Amino acid sequence: MALILLVDDDDESLWMLQLVFERSGHRVLLADSGEAALAVAGRHLPDLIITDWNMPGMDGIGLCERLKFYPTLAQIPVVMTSGDSPPKDKSSLWNVFFSKPVDMRALESAVDSLLARRLCRSENRVNVPAPAPSRWAPMPSKYWA
């Protein structure tokens, strides 16, 4: 299944989300701040990020802004959660917003939809170029004539 990065400074929220998504067969990474999440995302390239907005240090919005600086990370779908209303001018930074307390069935459905779209998009498929020719490869016969 998918690799999901969960970001929240509340241990209970992380634990609950971890249980829900591991039960669904996903692999889960945890971070307790925006800074930690950015480091984890850079190392592991998750398929999706679920982050809380209000955290000390780099909050969820700061994390989303920083993710957009890196082409590889900018394509990762983000689900934002918060007890507050989202700022309208920043809504393009994430794909889906959920108010807390989060309806877990709606969250699971949104995650499944975002992951399906991400995995089906052809531009997200890795194109591996042909290997560079070896300098020890035999020369074509036209050079020996």
The candidate with the shortest Cα–Cα distance to 98, out of 112, 110, 114, is 110
Residue 103 lies in a domain: yes
For residue 30, what is the domain's CATH number?
A: 3.40.50.2300
By residue range, what is the domain housing residue 115?
3-121
pLDDT band at 1; cut points 50, 70, 90: confident
The neighbour count for residue 107, using CB atoms within 10 Å, is 18
Looking at every residue in the chain, the average pLDDT score rounds to 86
pLDDT in tens, 23-41: 999 999 999 999 999 999 9
Strand, coil or helix: 48: strand
Residue 96 lies in a domain: yes
Structurally, the chain folds into a number of domains equal to: 1
The pLDDT of 38-53, averaged and rounded, is 96
Residue 134 lies in a domain: no
The CA distances from residue 113 to 63, 97, 108, in Å, are 22, 14, 9
